[in-house]
Structure 1
Amino acid sequence: MLITIPFSEVDEELSHFTIINTQTNEPLTIKTWRKSNERWRYELYLEKAVNLGTEYRVFTNKQISFDVKTGQVVRTETFDDLYFYDLDDLGITYTKDETTFKLWAPTATEVQLILFNGNQQQRYPLTKADKGVWHYTVSGDLEGTAYKYRLLIDRMWREAVDPYTKAVTVNGERGVVVDLSQTNPNQWNEIKKPSYESRNDAIIYEVHVRDFSIDENSGMKHKGKYKALTETGTRGPWGTLTGLDYLVDLGVTHVQLLPVQDFGSVDETKSLDKYNWGYDTIHYNAIEGSYSLNPEDPKQRILELKEVVKSFHKQGIRVILDVVYNHVYIHHRSNFERIVPGYYFRYKLDGSLANGTGVGNDIASERKMVREFIVDSIKFLAEEYQVDGFRFDLMGILDLETMNKVRDKLNEIDPSIIVIGEGWDLATPIQREKKAIIANSDLLPSISHFNDQFRDKLKGSIFDHTKKGFCNGNGELKETFKMLVSGSIKGFYHIEGIFREPYQSVNYVECHDNHTLWDKLELSNGDQKEEVRASMHRLATALTLLSQGIPFLHAGQEFYRTKKGVENSYCSSDEINKLDWKRKALHMDYVDYVKGLIALRKTHDVFRFSTADQVKKNMHILDTPSYCLAYMLKDNSGMFVIAHNSFEGEKELILPSSGYWDVLVEGNKSAVSPLRTFEGAKINVQGISTTVLFHPKSY
């Protein structure tokens, strides 16, 4: 055991060290000590480890003394092994007769529970048990009671909200004891989840709660609120569908909600004064209140989110939550840091906080109690809110073992729950081979990754706005796309793939991050006519929906969503971020086109093969002229040919068979039933468009 005294703490030479347990006055044996000029500190080596959570003091030179503070020891494997607590009862256990409070705080020397009754406070001393867990049981029905913890750590008192709390007061200032059974909507347990067989069946549509309804033309009553997502019968300009009815009509299978874990950047009492996407989580098991009709009521936001899930399930749509376990809002204010200082975050060798996330801190998911918290939190959200998937923000910050344990836990609950994430390789101090990144996707066999190669090769670089992708003029990328349309699987084409299975690839061309596709095209192709850019936009969406893997659409992509050139709109105004329902009404031809593509994908299994073996057996790349990419898909009913032409002029495509062909997609039209039928062995594919043909075996 090592105790250090930095030179900066002293003004003279030190010697004759003694260490005393201040609670028992017992001395500790110092095996040896030395002055380290290389590290600028005194190093005291003890014969055996100190008991964390006990106060000690170092005496030296007779008149000098120092409090012993817990330091880097909390980031050692020994600490993890000694204090790992794997029971699932942290937080509160509520009954009408009593409530038990449990908090993991091994370095605290004293912990108090504070219960609030209006302006009155009651304090109770918690008892420390094994593994650094403190506990106290209060008799009586505490339902609706607010609470916090007060901890003495390194002779300093600090207050914190229970990190396991499942309900909070307005702006998350206190945890709240709630009977969660009272937050269930009518028929909560009667509505069954929509049927779902394979991950490749998913068609994901990304929605921000506030964006979805805040527009004056949304036709929704509860603008900017959870409640708006449950409204039916809503109409926009010229009687066009909006809201939930629109999502059902569009045909998507999953709606992904941007973060609804309680976040810190919006004042819930003035919810419309400020905007944020919500990637600044404060409480991981509690729900954001700025989208609630009454953020003062801790239970209402819970009920309202459950009503969203229920309403979507009733209409045949599954729900994915966007979750943010890679960092906290403000490190020094976080409850993690107040309860076990130094434990929950990664540090560089120089002692400064790691910052691979770019927002000031990285969660240390590889530590046992951090991993346990993440898995417990996901389990709670999956079971309590009956959601159908999780999208992990900056998943590459997290480690492989944590993500695989998340997947294993969800398999116990419901194997159909989907897990997707951003597997970017960020500069955080864990070994690359342990990161949950795309390069390690073989070690994450049941987790899907946002495919940034698909995105960048399709529309061009998100960093260099002048660089173009396949959809907007760079025909040289056709060869790479022959691999990407396969679900980016390995062993399909001579350009080596990325993933072992097609469902591991989440194919997308835009999301909440970076420029929308429309805005990117204005930057990279601003010299071309608007109708040409519109054709490029449709081509990119068709490629996304008709490739193997999991297609992902950004809300409004299907009507050329624009954020007026703002690239990072995380805190921009509603005017920038809102879903523009008038724009939707003006571009119903594009909406209908996307609707037809979705229906086509859902109708025919060949667009969503489940395994790499199926892709390799039934998908074949065709010879094509420049700027044109085409492939054939086979099943027992016949063969499909999908051709994507990124050239402004027509391209002649020689078909793999002569005879009768049904045209299902052509120009700006798409349908499950044939648009027309022709006989022949070749076709002219229109400029900047997608064509889909079907040759039935019966012909």
Structure 2
Amino acid sequence: MQRIDEFPTHELNGVKYRIGRPMPFGAEVVSDNCVNFSIYSKDATKCELLLYHRGDKKPYLILELKDEFRLGSVYSVMIFDIDWEETEYGYRFDGPNDISQGYRFDPTKILVDPYAKLVSGCDIWHQYTYEDSNFKRRGRIIREDYNWEGDRPLEIHPEDLVIYEMHVRGFTKHDSSGVKYKGTYAGIVEKIPYLKKLGINCIELLPTFEFEEFIPGVSKDCCNYWGYVTCNYFSPKTGYAYSGPQGLAVDEMKNMIKKLHQNGIAIVLDIVFNHTGEYGDEGEYISFRGIDNRTYYIMNSDGTYSDLTGCRNTVNCNNPIVRNFIIDSLRYWVSSYHVDGFRVDEAPIFVRGQDGEPMLSPPLMESLADDPILSHTMLISEGWDPSGLSTIGHFTNTWADWNARTRDAIKRFIKGGAESGPDIIRSIEGSPDMFANGTPASSVNYIISHDGFTLYDTVSYQQTHNETNALPSPMDHDYDNCSWNCGAEGETDDKEVNALRKRQMKNAMTILLLSRGIPMFLAGDEFANTQYGNNNAFSQDNEISWLDWNRLKKYKDVFDYVRCLIRFRKEHPVIRREIYYSDYNSSGYPELSWHGVKAWEMDRYQPFLVFGFMYAEPKADFKVKNDCFIYCGINSHWEEHILQLPIIPEGMEWRIVLYSGDENGKMKGVVCKDSIKLMPRSSMLLIGTY
């Protein structure tokens, strides 16, 4: 027996329909041949639904949703006998068009449903399917029937994460990647054995929500490669799917996540809710601008767009409708895609009120803190924006923050910046001074991200080399890269310079992976990938941005060193402490102690270039097989130094685990008695056991 509310009551041009269900928003398959459409607009005076046969330039149905199809500010309709797999759809809205009041309705514009679960029109990377159409991006309808085979988000404890920041396309697009499906979600699946060998257990993907690849008014050779120009917040980037032209991007992305989870690798998505791809006052109509402009954007007093993001518009995140939209989006990605977490681009937007000013108790933050679906979801903040607002350490302890102080301190210290020494110590501790109400896992420690030089370029270039960037930005010229080229600019045949660069990369990774907090590094840094001195490759879809896997063989010793550090970190829970250390544990030693050239003698508050630190890890406290001590000596001076080793219990001895000056690994396992000798700009990791 068919439900009475699923019988058609109206018909137009042979298409049967009836009043729909106002919730949920979006297009939902009700039965095999019936789809419910629902959309919100507070200020519209007219709403039309347009249906297209897939690939057609003109709609086969234009249906005006009159007042009987509106409940409150929601328009909904149920369409019958629809081949939803071969259907594309959009909306047109009419209403006031008075920019001074923030109204921008235009009934000639066909708009994408903000809740569309798939968007067609750019199914092949950097190609418009409907370039000569007035409706370039179109909503597609999907059915939530993917077979997850029992998969769920991994819920790895934050302190156990090792995050690997990655661009979907750039990770495997280079011919040297050796994968079949280059530059796609499927290509990442092919590289899972490599990720497992490296030892990371979390990848953080640069934006994968459907985004605008083309920059308005600029040559098509220039693209928004990084993806920080979102067009839709519920659909995956179809251009990242080899199956995108077949309409299977959703399944391909879900399959990638399932395969990653099966191999113990979590996934964090970089999300952009601070601005949209509609740009500024002369920008394109995609969704929000033509559906309910005043709801979705923060306005200046004259109705123009407020620009607190540096991207020409600012999303009105604490408007009740937008707040619910954001929560709905995050819930959807967690429930439908099993995403483990999110990194929020320019996260201070979450605390700005509808006037753009910071709020003491932002409703959005309260909603996120108490949300039943997101309660175990990792939330990571980029805690600053171009307008100068910083929220680092201000969010609840369910959040973590990218720690830019750690980034700059490590870069400056390894090149000889003694003034950064005290910050290095605070970073190794997990930055308790920054996260007084949190834990070490509140700090995402990193040296390199997609912004700025790669790790190799940080030790190989003194100046930026962004001559090929089509759109220069302040970062191209006025950005402090904290870099040092080790004596030669760029590639060189000088053996001493190249050996020093390898040591410097290893030194940086040593500090990063032995520090408390969540370590993150950029894909390719483990084998010295280069962007040839470009520190702002946001528009470079070419070998500048693609990982060159040939360098894995050339820099195998760097890869092996990083891999060993990750394994060592996993083996020693004292490094991954859930709470800030206390003075002493059951070993009778301080859990984390600081040492100068002489053991136990160090002024951590004065500039320095040479120091050591030691973890005490008793099996009684950390449930490990044996008591042990971990010592790391760091020499950022341009001269050799001898460091006295701390005395440990009788019967124990110090053995070398890693030495950045040992390219061939010959010193691994060597016993050290009273001291170690560190060559200029080098680091050494030792373990003390019976």
Give the TM-score normalised by the residue count of structure 1: 0.76
In the aligned structure 2, how far is the partner of 1:442 from the partner of 1:671? 45
Instruction: Using the TM superposition, give the Cα deviation of residue 499 of structure 1 relative to its aligned residue in structure 2, in angstroms.
Output: 6.6
- 2:290 paired residue number: 338
The 3-state SS of whatever aligns with 2:294 is coil
Structure 2: unaligned runs, 5 residues or longer: 1-21, 98-105, 123-135, 352-361, 463-482, 488-496, 598-607, 619-626
The 3-state SS of whatever aligns with 2:629 is strand
Verify: 1:247 aligned to 2:182, yes or no.
Answer: no
Which among 267, 270, 277 is matched to residue 319 of structure 1? 267
The 3-state SS of whatever aligns with 1:162 is coil
In the aligned structure 2, how far is the partner of 1:358 from the partner of 1:615? 45
Tell me the alpha carbon deviations over residues 347-387 of structure 1, each in whole angstroms, 9 at most, x when there is no partner. Answer: 34564422222111111111111111111001101111112
**Gap change, CA 1:193 and 1:343, over 3 Å in 2:** closer
Structure 1: unaligned runs, 5 residues or longer: 1-86, 232-242, 460-468, 491-495
The 3-state SS of whatever aligns with 1:540 is helix
The 3-state SS of whatever aligns with 1:313 is helix
Instruction: Using the TM superposition, give the Cα deviation of residue 456 of structure 1 relative to its aligned residue in structure 2, in angstroms.
Output: 1.0
**Gap change, CA 1:131 and 1:477, over 3 Å in 2:** same
Instruction: Using the TM superposition, give the Cα deviation of residue 498 of structure 1 relative to its aligned residue in structure 2, in angstroms.
Output: 6.8
Verify: 1:519 aligned to 2:452, yes or no.
Answer: no
- 1:70 paired residue number: none
Verify: 1:280 aligned to 2:219, yes or no.
Answer: no
- 2:174 paired residue number: 215
- 2:144 paired residue number: 180
- 1:475 paired residue number: 418
- 1:405 paired residue number: 367
Amino acid at match of 2:242: L
Which among 89, 97, 122 is matched to residue 61 of structure 2? 122
Instruction: Using the TM superposition, give the Cα deviation of residue 533 of structure 1 relative to its aligned residue in structure 2, in angstroms.
Output: 2.5
In the aligned structure 1, how far is the partner of 2:246 from the partner of 2:220? 15
Which among 620, 627, 640 is matched to residue 630 of structure 2? 640
Is 1:99–1:142's contact at 8 Å kept on the other side of the alignment? no
The 3-state SS of whatever aligns with 2:543 is helix
- 2:121 paired residue number: 170
In the aligned structure 2, how far is the partner of 1:498 from the partner of 1:672? 40
Verify: 1:329 aligned to 2:294, yes or no.
Answer: no
Point out the more displaced range, 165-174 or 567-576: 165-174
Identity %: 27
Is 1:407–1:447's contact at 8 Å kept on the other side of the alignment? no
In the aligned structure 2, how far is the partner of 1:344 from the partner of 1:272? 31
In the aligned structure 2, how far is the partner of 1:615 from the partner of 1:316? 34
- 1:347 paired residue number: 299
In the aligned structure 2, how far is the partner of 1:211 from the partner of 1:574? 8
- 1:100 paired residue number: 36
Verify: 1:623 aligned to 2:559, yes or no.
Answer: no
**Gap change, CA 1:364 and 1:614, over 3 Å in 2:** farther
- 1:29 paired residue number: none
Verify: 1:367 aligned to 2:310, yes or no.
Answer: no
Verify: 1:296 aligned to 2:245, yes or no.
Answer: yes
**Gap change, CA 1:365 and 1:263, over 3 Å in 2:** same
**Gap change, CA 1:615 and 1:161, over 3 Å in 2:** farther
Which among 678, 685, 688 is matched to residue 681 of structure 2? 688
In the aligned structure 1, how far is the partner of 2:255 from the partner of 2:662? 36
Tell me the alpha carbon deviations over residues 80-124 of structure 1, each in whole angstroms, 9 at most, x when there is no partner. Answer: xxxxxxx96111232225322111101111212112234442122
Tell me the alpha carbon deviations over residues 140-176 of structure 1, each in whole angstroms, 9 at most, x when there is no partner. Answer: 3442221111211127524321101101222361112
**Gap change, CA 1:530 and 1:403, over 3 Å in 2:** farther
- 1:448 paired residue number: 400
Is 1:421–1:450's contact at 8 Å kept on the other side of the alignment? yes
Structure with larger Rg: 1
* Number of aligned residues: 569
- 1:427 paired residue number: 387
Amino acid at match of 1:100: N
Instruction: Using the TM superposition, give the Cα deviation of residue 326 of structure 1 relative to its aligned residue in structure 2, in angstroms.
Output: 1.1
In the aligned structure 1, how far is the partner of 2:424 from the partner of 2:437? 14
The 3-state SS of whatever aligns with 2:405 is helix
Verify: 1:136 aligned to 2:88, yes or no.
Answer: no
- 1:5 paired residue number: none
Instruction: Using the TM superposition, give the Cα deviation of residue 444 of structure 1 relative to its aligned residue in structure 2, in angstroms.
Output: 2.2
Is 2:638–2:681's contact at 8 Å kept on the other side of the alignment? yes
- 2:45 paired residue number: 109
**Gap change, CA 1:595 and 1:572, over 3 Å in 2:** same
- 2:465 paired residue number: none
The 3-state SS of whatever aligns with 2:426 is helix
Amino acid at match of 1:179: R
- 1:154 paired residue number: 96
Point out the more displaced range, 538-547 or 93-102: 93-102
Amino acid at match of 1:663: I
In the aligned structure 2, how far is the partner of 1:511 from the partner of 1:549? 16
Query: Greater strand percent: which structure?
Result: 1
- 1:226 paired residue number: 185
In the aligned structure 1, how far is the partner of 2:94 from the partner of 2:533? 50
Instruction: Using the TM superposition, give the Cα deviation of residue 338 of structure 1 relative to its aligned residue in structure 2, in angstroms.
Output: 0.6
- 1:44 paired residue number: none
Amino acid at match of 2:232: H
In the aligned structure 2, how far is the partner of 1:265 from the partner of 1:509? 28
Verify: 1:649 aligned to 2:590, yes or no.
Answer: no
Aligned pairs for 1:493-508 within 5 A: 500-508=438-446
Is 1:323–1:390's contact at 8 Å kept on the other side of the alignment? yes
Instruction: Using the TM superposition, give the Cα deviation of residue 674 of structure 1 relative to its aligned residue in structure 2, in angstroms.
Output: 9.7
Give the TM-score normalised by the residue count of structure 2: 0.77
Amino acid at match of 2:235: A
The 3-state SS of whatever aligns with 2:550 is helix
The Cα RMSD (Å) is 2.9
Is 2:405–2:423's contact at 8 Å kept on the other side of the alignment? no
Which among 599, 602, 610 is matched to residue 578 of structure 2? 610
Verify: 1:305 aligned to 2:234, yes or no.
Answer: no
Instruction: Using the TM superposition, give the Cα deviation of residue 612 of structure 1 relative to its aligned residue in structure 2, in angstroms.
Output: 2.1
Verify: 1:190 aligned to 2:147, yes or no.
Answer: no
**Gap change, CA 1:129 and 1:596, over 3 Å in 2:** same
**Gap change, CA 1:293 and 1:497, over 3 Å in 2:** closer
Instruction: Using the TM superposition, give the Cα deviation of residue 690 of structure 1 relative to its aligned residue in structure 2, in angstroms.
Output: 2.3
Which among 26, 41, 44 is matched to residue 91 of structure 1? 26
Amino acid at match of 2:176: N
Amino acid at match of 2:139: G
Verify: 1:200 aligned to 2:123, yes or no.
Answer: no
Which among 536, 549, 552 is matched to residue 581 of structure 1? 549
In the aligned structure 1, how far is the partner of 2:633 from the partner of 2:484? 23
Amino acid at match of 1:413: I
In the aligned structure 2, how far is the partner of 1:654 from the partner of 1:214? 48
Amino acid at match of 2:504: M
- 2:212 paired residue number: 264
The 3-state SS of whatever aligns with 2:383 is coil
Instruction: Using the TM superposition, give the Cα deviation of residue 414 of structure 1 relative to its aligned residue in structure 2, in angstroms.
Output: 6.2
Tell me the alpha carbon deviations over residues 277-305 of structure 1, each in whole angstroms, 9 at most, x when there is no partner. Answer: 1111101101112122243333x111111
Instruction: Using the TM superposition, give the Cα deviation of residue 600 of structure 1 relative to its aligned residue in structure 2, in angstroms.
Output: 0.3
In the aligned structure 2, how far is the partner of 1:672 from the partner of 1:550? 27
- 2:6 paired residue number: none
**Gap change, CA 1:519 and 1:177, over 3 Å in 2:** same
The 3-state SS of whatever aligns with 1:456 is helix
- 1:663 paired residue number: 656
